[in-house]
Structure 1
């Protein structure tokens, strides 16, 4: 990141209800070092004051999602630059600083100083075209998997309907349940299921469906008794 025109490097160690803010000028002068409530008015007031007094502010966080989302949104809206210092990078940099105790103030100071002295360690939080393309690919892969699961489930239900419609009415709606898949994998046919008997089926299904095993077995045998031909 190009930080040559940044006047204040504001490091935020983000927290659920409160952050700690440390601000350093380009020459290392500490201009902010205090807790900051996770509140838009409080954060906006600090950023506006720093911008008015010093100029461009760069807000750097150690996690950009979840609890770090509001500070970044407020910073962007206030006209500040934003960046992210990856956690692993921060931990390695922290080893170079004196003291071993982990405190919010120490972490915020490390984030601010790393941004000031090692801008190459920072990561942009803006989504570029490449990132969006990667997300599309991941989502597409997810869609493919979901489509394949649906296809296999429908194929299994079709086979059950062809062989034993009564059994399909019991197992079909639960076809993706681990207990039903275990049953079909281990036994595989109405004849084998009936031969196994109630007790063995309950033992087989209980680890996958503790509360449903006995009821499911009774429903299965009721269905098997309703159809005498295969």
Structure 2
């Protein structure tokens, strides 16, 4: 958790476990009721946290992986760590105003998760598809 100036207010490792997440939610609420929560996943690993926050009427912003990846080079430190990623996500959420909120059960979110799952399965079977979807295809067609 960081404040508007980027100063760390709370930083600790938390397992994806309901009691630990509930304790974290309570600790954040003690510091601020207006804190913006942000995640870079909208499924799997973040599903429990998003559900618990929704049950506590706490909105969760979603920061897509692409901006997180692009921004990671601008932050100090070598390598990828959970602490670095958490600070990067918090700092990016602090400075951005165009973040969408996760809404559990939202039809669009469910559809996007389904499409992403299907895409991941297709890429497992046909790895070359990844290059065509990212615009880095090496195969050129001539007519």
Question: Which of the five TM-score ranges fits, normalised by the shorter chain?
Answer: 0.5 to 0.7
Offset at residue 92 of structure 1 (A): 0.6
Whole-angstrom CA distance in 1 between matches of 2:60 and 2:20: 18
1:66 aligns with 2:23: no
Higher radius of gyration, 1 or 2: 1
Offset at residue 33 of structure 1 (A): 1.1
Offset at residue 128 of structure 1 (A): 5.5
Query: Which structure carries more strand by proportion?
Result: 1
Query: Over aligned residue pairs, what C-alpha RMSD do you find?
Result: 2.3
TM-score (norm 1): 0.44
1:211-230: CA deviation from partner (whole Å, max 9, x where unpaired): xxxxxxxxxxxxxxxxxxxx
Query: What is the DSSP-based 3-state SS (H/G/I as helix, E as strand, rest coil) of the residue aligned with 1:50?
Result: helix
Match 1:48 to one of 26, 34, 45: 26
Query: What is the DSSP-based 3-state SS (H/G/I as helix, E as strand, rest coil) of the residue aligned with 1:57?
Result: coil
Offset at residue 25 of structure 1 (A): 1.5
1:151-202: CA deviation from partner (whole Å, max 9, x where unpaired): xxxxxxxxxxxxxxxxxxxxxxxxxxxxxxxxxxxxxxxxxxxxxxxxxxxx
Q: Which has the higher contact order (CA 8 A, sep 6+)?
A: 2
Whole-angstrom CA distance in 2 between matches of 1:83 and 1:70: 15
The alignment of Structure 1 onto Structure 2 pairs a total of residues equal to 111
1:92-132: CA deviation from partner (whole Å, max 9, x where unpaired): 11122223311111010000000001232x23222667x38
Structure 1 runs of 4+ with >4 Å offset: none
Q: Which runs of 5+ in 2 are unaligned?
A: 115-143
